Amino acid sequence: MPTVQEIRQASADGEPLTMLTAYDAPTAGIVDAAGIDLILVGDSMGNAVLGYDSTLPVTVEEMASHTGAVARAAEDALVVADMPFMSYGTTDGAGVENAGRLVKDAGANAVKLESGPHTVALTERLVNLGIPVMAHLGLTPQRLNQVGYSRQGTTEAAAEEIRELAERHEAAGAFSLVLEHVPGDLAAEVTAALDIPVIGIGAGPETDGQVLVLTDVIGLSESAPPFAAEFGDARGEIEDAVTAYREAVEDGDFP
Ligand code: KIV
Ligand code: NA
């Protein structure tokens, strides 16, 4: 398992960082063996695998259970667990305890928080405790009821807020920053301004790395955001296998 310093060094050496989500042991094992640098146990698992229609219902218990499965399967990738909605930011104590559960009990190497002015102090506290923190700015889906899933940082004031929060979280000790669904020129500016690696999603090509949701990438999601990309047809493969099995049993060809 690399340390966050090794991830930062790889990025500083010019290696584009690759990150994908995973939520269970078999897919985490595949992602890990394929050489992906960081595995995110995203709260996107609410939509991707738990059947919720947003990330808001995901609990710390669910995150811990799935993080455990991923951490047990990953050998080379750094495992980052998302802090779910309402598990941090309410009080610093709650954020520290819940981050501790994901790292100490479930085996994550780092946590990711949807960042804002309220997460600067918590980021510093977690880092001081030995819990690496990945910041997340731009579109932050836990604020669905405030901003929907729209592109962020599109006005000068909003772009300035993102630039400022990015600097504040770097100063607080975050080891990297996810920048989601913002204009590519803003992402390029933030990437140039920060020493820590910026990992983009729907943020153009000029970041230090990219992240996508695994079920979108493999073609398993029922719906995906406009900036996602399919690199495979897992849904088709599973449908073919299941249909072939049913037909073989019904036709008496199996067993
Ligand atoms: O939950 C998630 O998958 C994420 C990524 C989209 C960055 O936060
Ligand atoms: Na997330």
CATH number of 15's domain = 3.20.20.60
CA distance linking residue 41 with residue 110, whole number of Å: 10
- For residues 35, 13, 164 and 202, what is the CA-based torsion angle, rounded to 10 degrees? -40
Catalytic annotation, residues: 180
pLDDT tens string 163-187: 999 999 999 999 999 999 999 999 9
- Whole-number average pLDDT of the chain: 98
For the CA of 213, the closest atom of ligand 1 is 3
Total domains in the chain come to: 1
Task: Tell me what the mean pLDDT of segment 70-80 comes to.
Answer: 98
Is 167 among the domain residues? yes
For the CA of 42, the closest atom of ligand 1 is 1
Q: Look up residue 82 and give its two tokens.
A: 């998302």
State yes or no: pLDDT of 43 exceeds 90.
Answer: yes
Nearest residue (CA) to ligand 1, atom 5: 42
State yes or no: pLDDT of 116 exceeds 90.
Answer: yes
Name the nearest CA neighbour of 74 among 113, 130, 144, 20.
Answer: 20
Is 255 among the domain residues? no
pLDDT tens string 219-230: 999 899 999 999
Residue 92 pLDDT grade (very low, low, confident, very high; cuts 50, 70, 90)? confident
Residues in the ligand 1 pocket, defined by CB under 6 Å: 21, 40, 42-44, 82, 178, 180, 201, 211, 213
Residue range of the domain that includes 163: 4-250
Looking at all shown ligands, the one closest to residue 41's CA atom is 1
Nearest residue (CA) to ligand 1, atom 8: 42
Q: Look up residue 38 and give its two tokens.
A: 């960081």
Q: How many CB atoms lie within 10 A of CB 209?
A: 22
State ipTM. 0.99
Looking at all shown ligands, the one closest to residue 44's CA atom is 1
Residue 1 pLDDT grade (very low, low, confident, very high; cuts 50, 70, 90)? confident
Distance 33 CA to ligand 1 centre (A): 21
- For residues 167, 214, 68 and 123, what is the CA-based torsion angle, rounded to 10 degrees? 10
For the CA of 55, the closest atom of ligand 1 is 1
Residue 201 pLDDT grade (very low, low, confident, very high; cuts 50, 70, 90)? very high
Whole-angstrom Cα Rg for the chain: 19
CA distance linking residue 157 with residue 138, whole number of Å: 13
Is 87 among the domain residues? yes
Residue 5 pLDDT grade (very low, low, confident, very high; cuts 50, 70, 90)? very high
Q: How many CB atoms lie within 10 A of CB 252?
A: 7
Kindly state the DSSP code that residue 92 receives in the 8-state scheme: H
Distance 65 CA to ligand 2 centre (A): 16
% of the chain residues with pLDDT over 70? 100
